[in-house]
Amino acid sequence: MNRIQQMLSVDKRLLSIYFTAGYPKLEDTVSIIKHLEQSGVDFIEIGLPFSDPLADGPTIQHSSKIALENGMTTKLLFKQLENIRTEVNLPLLIMGYFNPILQYGVEQFCSDCKKVGIDGLIIPDLPMEVYNSTYKDIFIEHGIAIVFLITPQTSDERISVIDDSSNAFIYMVSSASVTGSKTGFSEEQTSYFKRISEMKLKHPQIIGFGISNNDTYTNATAYAKGAIIGSAFIKHLEAHGTGNINTFVTQIKTPK
C-alpha cells in the first residue's frame, strides 16, 4: 500500500492543495510543500508548468507562465525535490500535461518520480486507452499511481471502466469548464455529485475545480472522499507569497 492508498484509507474527509512548481518564485517549491504539510493538508499536487495549459483557467495559466519565465523545468523540479522525503511524509503527486513528460521520456520521468518519492501522476490529456496500451507497465514498474479524470459529461459506462483502470482515486471534475475558484455549486453540479456517489465505485473520488472556501469544501466532501483546491491557493500565493499558508488552510477546513 503506497502513501496515497494509506491516506485514502483514513476515516476522514481529505484536503488536497495544488500549486504550480516554481511559482511565485523559482525556489519556493519545497518551502510551499513543507508549509502545506505543517498546515494539515492531506496530500499535495505539484503542478508541472506548461506553455499551453488549455484546461486551466486564467489564474493557473498565469502561474504557469510566471514559473516558466522564472526558469522552472522538469529537470529542475526533480532537482528541487531530490531530498523532499527527508522532511515530508505526505503523499505527493505531479499534475501536468503529457507533452513535457513525453519530451522528457516517460520511462525516465517515472524513474525520476520514484527516486524523489512522487507517489502518483495526474495527466489530464493522457487518454486512459493510451495509458493502458502503452504506458501502464512503465508506471507499475516504478510504483507510480495514475489518476484519471471524470466530468459531468462522462457516461456511467465509461466511469465504470475508469474505476476498473484506477489504482488510486478518481479525480472528479466539478464542471466542464476550465479550472478556477467559484463561490458555490449549482443544482446541476450537486446532482452530478449525488449520481457518482450512488454508483458506489471501488475507488474514492476527490472533487476538483471550483473549490475555494469552507462552504464549497464542505459541500464537495459531503459526496466525495475529499476535495482539491488550486486557483484559490495560487491567488493566496500571489498576494502573500509563502507566508500565511497555515491561515489559508485553516480557513478552508474550519466552518465560519
Query: CA nearest 171: which of 69, 95, 119?
Result: 95
Query: CA nearest 185: which of 173, 199, 203, 201?
Result: 173
Among residues 28, 56, 112, 119, which one is catalytic?
Answer: 56
Largest CA distance in the chain: 48
| Cβ–Cβ < 8 Å for 226, 16 | yes
Q: Is there a catalytic annotation at residue 56?
A: yes
Beginning with the edge strand found earlier in the chain, give each strand of the sheet holding 14-20 in spatial order: 145-147, 120-122, 92-95, 43-47, 14-20, 226-229, 205-208, 170-173, 149-150
Q: How far apart are CA 52 and CA 47, in angstroms?
A: 13
Q: How far apart are CA 133 and CA 113, in angstroms?
A: 21
Among residues 28, 42, 45, 119, which one is catalytic?
Answer: 45
Q: Is there a catalytic annotation at residue 87?
A: no
- Long-range CB pairs of 53-59 (<8 Å, 24+ gap) are 53/97, 54/178, 55/124, 55/125, 55/178, 55/179, 56/178, 56/179, 57/177, 57/178, 57/179, 57/180, 57/231, 58/180, 59/179, 59/180, 59/181, 59/230, 59/231, 59/234, 59/235
Tell me the β-bridge partners of 122.
Answer: 95, 147
| Cβ–Cβ < 8 Å for 85, 117 | yes
User: Catalytic amino acids?
Assistant: 45, 56
